[in-house]
Amino acid sequence: MKVLVVGGGGREHALAWKIAQSSMVETVFCTPGNPGVAMLEKGCCVPLTVNDMVGIGDFIAEYAVDLTIVGPEEPLAAGIVDALQAKGRLVFGPSAAAARLEGSKSFAKAFMTRWNIPTAPYAEFDDAEAALAYLRSRGAPIVVKADGLAAGKGVTVARSVEAAEAAIREAMVDRVFGDAGKRVIIEECLEGEEASILAFSDGKTVLPMPGSQDHKPVFDDDQGPNTGGMGAYSPAPVVTPELATEIDERILKPCIAGMAAEGTPYTGVLYAGLMITQDGPKVVEFNVRFGDPETQVVLPRMVSDIVPIFLACCEGSLAGTPVEYLVDPCVTVVMASGGYPKAYEKGKEITGLADAESDPDVMVFHAGTKRDGDRLFTNGGRVLNVTARGATLKETIDRAYVAVRKIHFDGAHYRTDIGRKALVRWSG
């Protein structure tokens, strides 16, 4: 088979890495891909943007691509799955109508309300003054979310009214997120511990993957602005077997059943970002694709060939599909450019990757890099996902940070506490 992965970040590198291990696959194309994908034995990068639906469709036809996996949310929301399916192509991912679960937070919140899926109480606003008046009546802490896609940066967990006011003005008046911020959601601030659940779906059956935990804020101890994710680990001990069953029954299955009942069956990967509260799990957000960086810690634990799972989702035959995972934990630490998630510089030379990857249990997934000859440079906010496996979580965390310290580029920033919550939970 020939497989195409749409996207060029750390998630797509991890997907290509896992797909390339399949005996069914001869070539893994990736558009636009990155230097990490290009170094895979079966990897091949294609210079097309993720939103070039015509170019991607033409490439699939010319190179007889058998299966396409869409990584980022933007082309999904824009209808790339619909466009490719209309040409008779096999593609893994939700339709544009189903992708509204991520593309519009107001749609997602209303959907959850209709199907009794636990989430925070909320209100939505198209007018900044009305939003500000509501905020002042509610007080803080409170959460302000841009309604549309904002690359993981449109959410502010405000601990003061002033911070929430600034977030509303940033989104609705200054339009720093473009049209994504013309409407905002203001919701109750849930207290608890976060967890992420990824689940395969063929539109009828849902098949959860092991739990993981992302680290959104840029600094240690969950301080600073939210990012696209500064690291993750799996499994997440907060997701006990009993809780996993509750999440499946109260959140995942109702979501898939509700989408089908409303005429927009959901096929692909459903991402449930959860807060584990005193009242049980509640949905913080739904994403309509593999999480980033959760993918980088879940897929290295997957023993099974992932390609038959993709095919089962596309063909509606997921029920009964066996999937096996390692018990061993996995940790990824994001090395970011200085200044991220705000302004940052590109073009800093990266050294030490070969030394870091000399450990067979370390994988470095490229998120924002660019190659010039034999030299590698930074080319994004999140630059590398330094990933490790080990027999225990403590051993795995230590292994990841040993590898991180072998890699160098000017201004490199990373959190030093990835996985600490799990260590505390397991030791307590």
Phi, psi (degrees; rounded to nearest 5) at 82 = -60, -45
Rounded to an integer, the average pLDDT of 65-80 is: 97
The yes-or-no verdict on residue 152 having pLDDT over 70 is: no
Shared domain for 157 and 229, answered yes or no, is no
Residue 284 domain flag: yes
Residues spanned by the domain of 279: 193-315
- Shared domain check, 198 and 86: no
Answer with the one of 315, 348, 368 that is the final residue of a domain: 315
Domain boundary among 282, 315, 348: 315
230 lies in some domain:
yes
pLDDT over 70 at 426, yes or no: no
Domain boundary among 93, 118, 136: 93
Whether residue 121 lies inside any domain: the answer is no
Q: Nearest 5 degrees, angle CA 269-CA 272-CA 274?
A: 165
Q: Are strands 43-45 and 27-32 parallel, antiparallel or unpaired?
A: parallel
pTM: 0.95
- Specify the CATH number for the domain of residue 203: 3.30.470.20
Beta strand segments in 56-170, E: 67-70, 91-92, 122-125, 142-146, 155-158
116 in a structural domain: no
Same-domain status, 176 and 206: no
Looking at residue 428, its pLDDT comes to 42
Number of domains composing the chain? 4
Residue 118 covered by a domain = no
For residue 117, being part of any structural domain is answered with no
Collapsing DSSP to helix, strand or coil, 380 comes out as: coil
pLDDT tens profile 233-292: 999 999 999 999 999 999 999 999 999 999 999 999 999 999 999 999 999 999 999 999
164-201 pLDDT, tens digit each:
999 999 999 989 899 888 999 999 999 999 999 999 99
Cβ contacts of residue 368 below 8 Å, gap of 6+?
9, 34, 337, 378, 379, 380, 381, 382, 383
Q: What angle do CA 200, 74, 135 make, to 5 degrees?
A: 95
H helix intervals, 343-415: 353-356, 393-404
Give the CA count within 13 Å in the CB-facing half-sphere of 20: 21
Residues 134 and 43 in one domain: no
